[in-house]
Amino acid sequence: MDELRAISTFIRAAELGSFNKVAEAQGTTPQAVSKTIRQFEQHLGVRLFHRTTRNSSLTEEGQRLLESIKPSLDGVVGALARARNAAREDEGLIRVAVSGSISRRVLMPLLAEFQLRYPSIQIDLIQEDGFADLVHDRIDVGFRGGNPPDAQIVSRRLFPVQQIVCATPAYLKRHGTPQTLQDLATHRCTAYRQPGSGKAMAWEFEVNGDTVFHHVQPILLSNDPDTEMHAVLAGMGIGQIDSINATAAIRAGKLKPLLTQYLSERMGFYLYFPQRADMPGRVRRFIDFAVERLHNSEQFYINF
C-alpha cells in the first residue's frame, strides 16, 4: 500500500473528524477514504478510529500514532515544498568558490550589492588556490583570475587582467623612466614568488603579437600580490602589478604605468559553473548579476 498517502489521509481524518469532510477535501468519495483507513489499520494491526454514521474519533492507539508522526510528516511536506520552490524563489544557499586575493578584491563588493538586492539568499564562500572541483565540492559558481578554466565546464571571461609595469612618480623622479625592456636591468624591481618552485615569476609582455617572458633581479620577492603592490606604492621599486590591483592607484596618480606598448592581456578574470539543466533560480540570478556588473568593467582594467 501507499503508506505516505495512507498517513496523509489518516492525519486529515483525525483533524477533520469526518471521512465525508476528508473526501470533499481530497476530491474523492467517503467510501474511498474509509477503504484507505481500513487498509492502513490492517497494515498496522491496530484500530485507529471509532466510527459512527456521521463522525469518527481517534482511538487511544490512533491518538498516539498521530502525536508521533504528524511533526515528522509536516517536516517532510515542508522540505518537499522548499525543494519545489528552490528553482524560482529568491532564497536559499549559493556556494561560491574564489581563488586568490585579486578575486576577493573583485568579489566582495559584488556579493555585498547582490545581497542588498536578494537578502534571503545566503553565500557560502570557499576560498582556495586553483580551480575548485565543482561537482565534488558542490560548488555553484567559481571566480578566478588567470588562465581559462577547464573546457568541460561553462566559463565566461568577464574582463582582461592586464600585467601593468608601474612605479610611483617619486621613484621615477629619482631613478628615471625605463623606455625599453632592456632598461629594466638598471632598475630596482619587485617580483611575485611562484608557489611551486619558490623562484621569481618572470614578467610577461606582448611583443609583435607574441608573449615574451622577461626575468628581473628582484629587490623584493613576495608570494602575496597585495604585499608587492604596497611595496611599489611605498617607492621601493618598479613592479608588474595586475590591473585589478593597480587600476585605482594609476587613476589616482599614485602610480604611473610604464612600457604600455608591451602590455600583456593574455590573462582574464573568469566566472565558471557546472553545466546543468536544473540550475536553481537563485544561482542563475547570481550569474546574470555578476555578468551584468563585471563584463568589460573598466573598474579593473585600463584602455591604454
Q: How confident is the model at residue 227 (pLDDT cuts 50, 70, 90)?
A: very high
The answer to whether the beta carbons of residues 264 and 205 sit under 8 Å apart is: yes
Would you identify the CATH topology of the domain 3-85? Arc Repressor Mutant, subunit A (1.10.10)
> In CATH terms, are 92-160+267-294 and 163-262 the same topology?
yes
Q: What does CATH list as the number for 92-160+267-294?
A: 3.40.190.10
CA dihedral over 193, 199, 200, 204, signed as positive or negative: negative
| Tens digit of each residue's pLDDT (9 = 90 or more) over 137-151 | 788 999 988 888 776
Tell me which residue has cell 563584463. 295
Query: Model confidence over 161-211: pLDDT tens digits?
Result: 999 999 999 999 999 999 999 999 999 999 999 877 889 999 999 999 999
Query: Rounded CA gap, 203 and 267, in Å?
Result: 13
- Predicted pLDDT of residue 94: 95
pLDDT exceeds cutoff 80 at 85:
no
Q: What are phi and psi of 208, to 5 degrees?
A: 55, 40
- What CA–CA distances, in Å, run from 29 to 9, 36, 47, 89, 108? 12, 11, 21, 36, 58
The model carries a pTM of 0.69
**Homologous superfamily (CATH) for 163-262:** Periplasmic binding protein-like II (3.40.190.10)
Cell of 174: 629619482
Would you list the domain boundaries of the chain? 3-85, 92-160+267-294, 163-262
